[in-house]
Amino acid sequence: MILWLFARKGEGLSVRAMKLIESDPEITISPMVLLELEYLHEVGRTTLGSKPVYDYLHERIGLQLCKHSFTDVIQMAAKQTWTRDPFDRIITAQAAIDSNALVTKDSGIRKHYQYAVW
């Protein structure tokens, strides 16, 4: 989601997803998103690492990192048995702790997490 906001300025997101982003005074992401962006950069799938993307969105839309404890997130991630992908498990768990909406293009997450939106 943050790459769509960064590179495409939200173009391609659904109307529902954009309304969620625009109406929420506190948009948060899992710190795992930053690690996933770093991995994508390392393997050449993105041209930027996580820092410039996060810094831009933090400044532009007030994007914040979720502050739930790592222990709480991992305990919730252990319940996400529908995937073996650690990124998907932790990112979904971070949202699931508070039953927050999760804007994602990932069809697996959308299929298994009832509050996922694209």
CATH number at residue 13: 3.40.50.1010
What pLDDT sits at residue 54? 96
Say how many Å lie between the first and final Cα of the chain, rounded. Answer: 9
Query: 97: domain range?
Result: 2-117
Residues 44-94 have pLDDT tens digits of: 999 999 999 999 999 988 999 999 999 999 999 999 999 999 999 999 999
What 33-42 contacts at long range (C-beta under 8 Å, 24+ apart), as own/partner pairs, is 33/2, 33/91, 34/65, 35/87, 36/87, 36/91, 37/2, 37/3
Q: How many domains does the chain have?
A: 1
